[in-house]
Amino acid sequence: MRFSAFKIFKEGLTGNKGWTPHWREPEPKPSYDVIVVGGGGHGLATAYYLAKEFGVTNVAVLEKGWLGSGNIGRNTTIIRSNYMLPENNPFYEMAMKLWENLEQDTNYNSMFSQRGILNLCHSDPQRDAMARRGNAMILSGADAELLNREQVRELCPFLSFDNERFPITGGLLQRRGGTARHDAVAWGYARGADMRGVDIIQNCEVTGFHIENGVCTGVDTTKGPIKANKVGVCVAGSSSRVMAKAGLRLPIESHVLQAFVSEGLKPTIPGVVTFGAGHLYISQSDKGGLVFGGDIDKYNTYAQRGNLPVIEHIAEDMRAMIPALGRVRLLRGWGGVMDMSMDGTPFIDKTHIGGLYFNGGWCYGGFKATPSSGWCYAHLLAKDESHELAKGFRLDRFIGGNMVDEKGQGPQPNLH
């Protein structure tokens, strides 16, 4: 089934009886060429590109819950490619270009909206750092504009420009940044993969790996054992727990990150705005709710819920940045388990076990990376060699001290 204006028109006139399920509900086959463990955004994008770009269609995606139950359905949906380091920027710019064509590519409305992302700065040194980042972005093909205080005011007049402690001195704007509807991204990839023959198997938890003579030959699941030539793990916040089943210890800690939505308001915030004197990012959904988040909760956990001190901290930042929001009511909040790598940069790599591959460590930033992560992981799984743009995301980078410490804030997750 393809979506088109004609199809919507026809269904509207004929009682909407012609829509079919977006994907099948198959039982697992005894064996596959590739098993992707984890049906989040990255796992589904990997399966989609494996089938579409690399012609590998004998693939299963095994998901322990339902599609969208993990971080793909819990994030604040911010998309940007405003990274500075040469290992990161081209990779996230690749993602941006894929985002720009994703809806046409998957024939699915993921509500990708390039409303721009504005990072505020509050001091001269911070503006200098932003100028440096903006220049690095431009040099690697991304767009960036350094705004002065008046230009920021034109864009967002509702900000508190003269806060005594955090006066706004300017901002870095990436106009191509924005948001997308997160779960529609998962559904679009799932539908596209399913159409090309990939089996998407929900409620199927991987409970162990078959490892014989240093080679992974399949997995144990709650639906029985399944053989595979290659197994690609892609389970975000569960990375340490799942890879421990194969005997691997990862440079990853699991932390909870919360997000919130306010009651619906009339159009207030044009794009994504981030506070530069704390940790707060905010945008407005198409329904009118303000979507916002801040720091991780700073304790290790696998619980998908957080605690009050971070909520208080985020509310304080919001009052400092946009005092007018002081009386807006919070509608709901939730948490997701984050796979925080020790340098803030992800992994897309083989492991020392033959046939076993790993993708994870996405920290705060995996949603925006979904298309390029899926593409590069599919490249690795199909060709057994890293994609050019993912060569920096190696598991052994800590052995040689070659960290990719994007924010330059030290290797502890609580500083990212």
Ligand X SMILES: Cc1cc2nc3c(=O)[nH]c(=O)nc-3n(C[C@H](O)[C@H](O)[C@H](O)COP(=O)(O)OP(=O)(O)OC[C@H]3O[C@@H](n4cnc5c(N)ncnc54)[C@H](O)[C@@H]3O)c2cc1C
**Nearest alpha-carbon partner for 228 in 220, 243, 217:** 217
Say if CB 297 and CB 258 are below 8 A apart: yes
Would you count residue 235 as binding ligand X (CB under 6 A)?
yes
From candidates 90, 177, 188, 365, binder to ligand X by CB under 6 A: 365
How many residues touch ligand X (CB under 6 A)? 40
Report the run of H or E that residue 95 belongs to, with start and end.
helix 89-106
Residue type, 100: E
CA distances from 68 to 32, 95, 180, 304 (A): 23, 20, 14, 14
From candidates 28, 40, 116, 178, binder to ligand X by CB under 6 A: 40
Of 358 and 367, which CB lies nearer to ligand X in the complex structure?
Answer: 367
Say if CB 170 and CB 148 are below 8 A apart: yes
From candidates 84, 190, 242, 378, binder to ligand X by CB under 6 A: 242
d(Cα 329, Cα 91) in Å, to the nearest integer?
A: 38
From candidates 362, 375, 377, 393, binder to ligand X by CB under 6 A: 362
From candidates 336, 361, 371, 413, binder to ligand X by CB under 6 A: 336
Of 173 and 219, which CB lies nearer to ligand X in the complex structure?
Answer: 219
Would you count residue 345 as binding ligand X (CB under 6 A)?
no
Site string for ligand X, 189-228 (x = CB under 6 A): ----------------xx----------------------
Of 37 and 127, which CB lies nearer to ligand X in the complex structure?
Answer: 37
Say if CB 330 and CB 260 are below 8 A apart: yes
Characterize 165-174 residue by residue with b for buried, 16 or more Cβ atoms within 10 angstroms of its Cβ, and e for exposed: ebebbbbbbb
From candidates 366, 371, 392, 413, binder to ligand X by CB under 6 A: 366
- Which of the stretches 111-119, 170-178, 253-261, 313-321 binds ligand X when contact is defined by CB under 6 A? 253-261
Place of tokens 């803030």: 344
Of 63 and 194, which CB lies nearer to ligand X in the complex structure?
Answer: 63
The torsion of the CA quartet 209, 214, 215, 219, rounded to 10 degrees, works out to -10
Chain residues 280-309 in contact with ligand X, contact rule CB under 6 A: 293
CA distances from 312 to 115, 280, 297, 336, 371 (A): 28, 12, 11, 18, 34
d(Cα 149, Cα 174) in Å, to the nearest integer?
A: 16
Q: List, in sequence order, every residue forming a beta bridge with 199; answer none if it has no partner.
A: 60
Minimum CB separation from ligand X for residue 125, in Å? 26
Of 169 and 240, which CB lies nearer to ligand X in the complex structure?
Answer: 240
d(Cα 39, Cα 62) in Å, to the nearest integer?
A: 6
- Which of the stretches 7-15, 35-43, 119-127, 317-325 binds ligand X when contact is defined by CB under 6 A? 35-43
Residue type, 154: E
Q: List, in sequence order, every residue forming a beta bridge with 91; answer none if it has no partner.
A: none
From candidates 367, 375, 377, 393, binder to ligand X by CB under 6 A: 367
3-state SS of 251-302 is: CEEEEEEEEEEEEECCCCCCCEEEECCCCEEEEECCCCEEEEEEEEEEEECC
Of 169 and 231, which CB lies nearer to ligand X in the complex structure?
Answer: 231
Site string for ligand X, 140-179 (x = CB under 6 A): ----------------------------------------
Of 28 and 171, which CB lies nearer to ligand X in the complex structure?
Answer: 28
Q: Count the neighbouring beta carbons within 10 Å of the beta carbon of residue 149.
A: 17
Minimum CB separation from ligand X for residue 242, in Å? 5
From candidates 47, 71, 89, 381, binder to ligand X by CB under 6 A: 71
What token pair was written down for 128?
A: 């200098």
Would you count residue 347 as binding ligand X (CB under 6 A)?
no
From candidates 23, 28, 34, 42, binder to ligand X by CB under 6 A: 42
- Which of the stretches 17-25, 105-113, 129-137, 255-263 binds ligand X when contact is defined by CB under 6 A? 255-263
What token pair was written down for 142?
A: 């991304």
Chain residues 74-103 in contact with ligand X, contact rule CB under 6 A: 74-78
Contacting positions for ligand X (CB under 6 A): 37-43, 62-65, 69-72, 74-78, 205-206, 234-238, 242, 257-259, 293, 336, 338, 362, 364-368
